[in-house]
């Protein structure tokens, strides 16, 4: 294929070649695609490589009217009387040169298809340190007289989970772009990578996932049966072959622990989509626990209940400070019910005559919000019964070990309680990596902890109040988490809705299928226009990836999930 000539460079008075861009002509029936790599003959015996960005077809007709007249003034059944000379011309961008020569490509220079090894070289994939597979690419799938090229694509692991770079952002329309599936594919690749390391290696990783939709991530240690496919056995065989071909183990996640919100079976307040039988079975197998919140230990996280509340006057903040400092009765309370009663007392005008620091109207607003969150939810309890498989999220995450996966189920909780649990967990992880629990027995965290959360827009959108404690925590992780070993893998439908300081600090970006309105936003201004169009028609299992080590955006594919799927 190295000498498979497909065209020659075009340089005209109005369309010259430049250091960065060039155009070449090729046969009208040659099937090429954006992101395909081509090899171009250059000066001093060197070769340049370019990535295709756009393809157009042109004829010698001077206008549309010329073609119309040639067809006997629009007779659909008549062949053109005048033969039209036509060709395809391809716009491409130079990505490298074998001798580091970057003068413009010369007119009539030969353009060829590249071999697999040449594509690897051109994209900078041939010498990646600490390789971590992130998918595979296919090129020349429709090109005549040549073989399709399929190549695994590796990232440098230090540029996705640190210390060189960190954080991943995945965007795409819900249900079409398979955001969770791609994130989980990468996370499995990371676990495989670290499980293969020597036990003596100081580098290590742990994982914390948040299940935000149905049962999505609640059986990731079990095999996918592919029962919803037309031919389950064939699809399973092909999927396992892909995993092996990419250097991954054909097995689901290992060392998985689940945490369900505490609730009582057969009541309207059952807090998980899992059945009571499944929950109890996992608890008996020591694979899961139910989590609770205890007033004595968790009152300091009350600010998280108000993450989505605009508190420009900081009255809610004043009340929370009042409570946390134990003023009034709040230093003598034992449980959430006593707490609610103490807050309700503050809502009385008689009480506020004595204590005029905070207006009664503010206490009433505080009570409405806190009462809605805590009342009638057994997750806010009086005590922890460890013998019954109960725990606090803060206590459980303190003891995370290397290669463990901790899945926290928040799917069935209301948005305010989802935010509370998420905020509590990331605050614990952040404090853990800061060393605040280093004196506690049995605390030995991995060097890095990867947090995966879907629907990031709920916690770090541009619309979030600036004083939101959860937004502040997410921004801290985005900006300083790399140095602490706290890594954020986040997904959302619309990237443009996410706070700029979060997306701006992500070293890796995955763009899935989206709509034309979204790609018109400023967040996509660095992406060539033809690639933007491609974003509106990507299929499931396809993503466009951006990472500092790649010389160009890459269009990659990834296999179906290998862990159990719920439909």
The CATH number of whichever domain residue 527 belongs to comes to 3.40.50.300
Decide which of 28 and 353 is more confident. 28
Q: What is the pLDDT of residues 503-519, one digit of tens each?
A: 999 999 999 888 888 98
Judgement on whether residues 187 and 334 belong to the same structural domain of the protein: no
* pLDDT for res 80: 64
Of 286-300, 323-337, 377-391, 395-409, minimum mean pLDDT range: 323-337
From 374, 398, 425, the end of a domain falls on: 374
Q: Which residues contact 479 (CB under 8 A, 6 or more apart)?
A: 501, 505
Residue 555: CB atoms within 10 Å:
23
* pLDDT for res 37: 92
In a domain, 470, yes or no: yes
Tell me 60's DSSP state: S
Judgement on whether residues 169 and 83 belong to the same structural domain of the protein: no
Q: Is 244 left (phi over 0), alpha (psi -120 to 50) or beta?
A: alpha
In a domain, 565, yes or no: no
CA distance 392 to 374: 16
* pLDDT for res 548: 85
Judgement on whether residues 92 and 104 belong to the same structural domain of the protein: yes
Q: What is the pLDDT of residues 331-361, one digit of tens each?
A: 888 888 888 888 888 888 765 555 667 888 8
Q: CA angle at residue 527 from 523 to 530, to 5 degrees? A: 130
Judgement on whether residues 300 and 266 belong to the same structural domain of the protein: no
Judgement on whether residues 41 and 108 belong to the same structural domain of the protein: yes
Judgement on whether residues 303 and 277 belong to the same structural domain of the protein: no
Predicted TM-score (pTM) of this structure: 0.88
Backbone angles phi, psi at 282, to 5 degrees: -70, -35
Of 366-370, 397-401, 486-490, minimum mean pLDDT range: 366-370
From 374, 395, 420, the end of a domain falls on: 374
* pLDDT for res 242: 92
Write down how long the chain is: 567
Q: What is the mean pLDDT of residues 406-433?
A: 92
Nearest one of 187, 179, 183, 181 to 256, comparing CA atoms = 187
In a domain, 150, yes or no: no
Which residue do the tokens 């369309």 mark? 15
Judgement on whether residues 339 and 388 belong to the same structural domain of the protein: no
Judgement on whether residues 330 and 258 belong to the same structural domain of the protein: no
Q: What is the pLDDT of residues 213-253, one digit of tens each?
A: 989 999 999 999 888 778 889 989 999 999 999 999 999 99
Token output for 280? 């109890």
Tell me 270's DSSP state: -
In a domain, 270, yes or no: yes
Q: Which helix (H) or strand (E) holds 341?
A: helix 336-346
Q: What is the mean pLDDT of residues 21-31?
A: 90
Judgement on whether residues 205 and 277 belong to the same structural domain of the protein: yes
Q: Which helix (H) or strand (E) holds 529?
A: helix 529-535
* pLDDT for res 272: 92
In a domain, 20, yes or no: yes
Residue 417: CB atoms within 10 Å:
22
- In the three-class reduction of DSSP (H, G, I as helix; E, B as strand; rest coil), residue 364 is classed as helix
In a domain, 432, yes or no: yes
Judgement on whether residues 343 and 486 belong to the same structural domain of the protein: no
Judgement on whether residues 344 and 472 belong to the same structural domain of the protein: no
Of 24-28, 342-346, 526-530, minimum mean pLDDT range: 526-530
Q: What is the mean pLDDT of residues 49-75?
A: 82
CA distance 136 to 151: 5
Which residue do the tokens 């985005």 mark? 478
- In the three-class reduction of DSSP (H, G, I as helix; E, B as strand; rest coil), residue 265 is classed as coil
* pLDDT for res 291: 95
pLDDT at 2 over 60: no
In a domain, 144, yes or no: no
* pLDDT for res 353: 55
Q: For the chain, what is the radius of gyration of the CA atoms?
A: 29
- In the three-class reduction of DSSP (H, G, I as helix; E, B as strand; rest coil), residue 502 is classed as helix
* pLDDT for res 253: 96
Token output for 310? 């605009």
Of 134-148, 431-445, 500-514, minimum mean pLDDT range: 134-148
For residues 50 and 23, the answer to whether their CB atoms sit within 8 Å is no
Token output for 234? 């064939």
Judgement on whether residues 273 and 399 belong to the same structural domain of the protein: yes
Q: What is the pLDDT of residues 184-222, one digit of tens each?
A: 999 999 999 999 887 777 789 999 999 999 899 999 999
Q: What is the pLDDT of residues 463-476, one digit of tens each?
A: 888 878 898 999 99
**What share of the chain has pLDDT > 70, as a percent?**
95
In a domain, 354, yes or no: yes
Cα–Cα distances in Å, from 231 out to 226, 425, 563?
8, 41, 17
Nearest one of 195, 206, 163 to 428, comparing CA atoms = 206
Specify which residues 96 forms β-bridges with. Answer: 49
Q: Is 468 left (phi over 0), alpha (psi -120 to 50) or beta?
A: beta
Nearest one of 23, 24, 19 to 8, comparing CA atoms = 24
Residue 255 domain boundaries: 155-292+378-557
* pLDDT for res 525: 86
Backbone angles phi, psi at 129, to 5 degrees: -80, 150
Token output for 335? 């449980």
Tell me 461's DSSP state: B
* pLDDT for res 177: 45
Domain count, the chain: 3
Q: What is the pLDDT of residues 106-134, one digit of tens each?
A: 999 999 999 889 999 998 888 888 889 99
Q: Is 77 left (phi over 0), alpha (psi -120 to 50) or beta?
A: alpha
Q: How far apart are the first and last CA of the chain?
A: 44
* pLDDT for res 1: 42
* pLDDT for res 66: 76
């Amino acid at each position: 294929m190295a000498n498979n000539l497909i065209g020659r460079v075009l340089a005209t008075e109005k369309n010259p070649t430049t250091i960065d861009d060039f155009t070449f002509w090729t046969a009208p029936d040659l099937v090429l695609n954006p992101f395909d790599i081509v090899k171009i003959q250059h000066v001093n015996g060197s070769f340049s490589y370019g990535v295709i960005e756009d393809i157009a077809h042109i004829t010698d007709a001077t206008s549309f009217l010329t073609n119309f007249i040639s067809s006997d003034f629009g007779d659909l059944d008549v062949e053109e009387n005048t033969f039209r000379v036509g060709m395809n011309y391809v716009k491409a961008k130079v990505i490298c040169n074998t001798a580091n020569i970057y003068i413009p490509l010369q007119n009539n220079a030969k353009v060829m298809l590249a071999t697999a090894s040449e594509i690897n070289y051109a994209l900078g994939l041939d010498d990646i340190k600490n390789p971590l597979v992130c998918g595979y690419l296919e090129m020349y799938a429709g090109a005549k007289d040549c073989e399709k090229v399929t190549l695994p694509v590796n990232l440098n692991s230090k540029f996705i989970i640190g210390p060189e770079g960190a954080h991943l952002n995945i965007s795409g329309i819900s249900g079409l772009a398979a955001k969770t599936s791609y994130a989980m594919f990468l996370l499995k690749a990371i676990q495989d990578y670290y499980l293969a390391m020597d036990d003596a290696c100081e580098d290590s990783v742990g994982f914390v996932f948040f299940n935000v939709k149905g049962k999505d991530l609640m059986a990731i240690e079990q095999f996918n049966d592919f029962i919803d496919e037309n031919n389950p056995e064939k699809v399973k065989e092909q999927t396992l072959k892909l995993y092996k071909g990419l250097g991954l183990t054909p097995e689901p996640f290992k060392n998985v622990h689940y945490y369900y919100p505490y609730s009582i079976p057969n009541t309207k307040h059952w807090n998980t989509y899992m059945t009571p039988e499944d929950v109890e079975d996992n608890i008996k197998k020591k694979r899961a626990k139910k989590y609770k919140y205890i007033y004595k230990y968790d009152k300091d996280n009350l600010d998280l209940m108000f993450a989505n509340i605009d508190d420009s006057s900081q009255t809610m903040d004043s009340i929370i400070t009042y409570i946390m400092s134990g003023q009034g009765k709040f230093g003598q309370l034992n449980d959430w019910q006593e707490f609610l009663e103490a807050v309700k007392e503050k809502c009385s005008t008689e009480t506020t005559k004595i204590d005029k620091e905070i207006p009664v109207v503010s206490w009433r607003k505080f009570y409405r919000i806190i009462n809605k969150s805590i009342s009638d939810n057994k997750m806010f309890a009086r005590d922890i019964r460890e013998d019954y498989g109960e725990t606090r999220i803060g206590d459980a995450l303190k003891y995370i070990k290397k290669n463990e996966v901790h899945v926290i189920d928040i799917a069935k909780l209301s948005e305010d309680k989802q935010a509370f649990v998420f905020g509590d967990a990331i605050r614990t992880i952040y404090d853990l990596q800061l060393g605040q629990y280093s004196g506690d027995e049995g605390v030995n965290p991995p060097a890095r902890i990867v947090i995966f959360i879907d629907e990031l827009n709920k916690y770090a959108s541009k619309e979030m109040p600036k004083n939101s404690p959860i937004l502040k925590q997410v921004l801290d992780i985005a900006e300083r988490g790399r140095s602490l070993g706290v890594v954020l893998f986040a997904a959302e439908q619309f990237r443009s809705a996410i706070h700029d300081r979060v997306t701006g600090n992500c070293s890796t970006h995955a763009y899935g299928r989206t709509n034309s309105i979204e790609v018109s936003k400023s967040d996509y201004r660095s992406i060539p226009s033809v690639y933007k169009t491609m974003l509106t028609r990507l299929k499931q299992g396809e993503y466009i990836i951006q990472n500092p080590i790649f010389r160009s955006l890459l269009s990659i594919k990834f296999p179906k999930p290998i862990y159990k799927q719920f439909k």
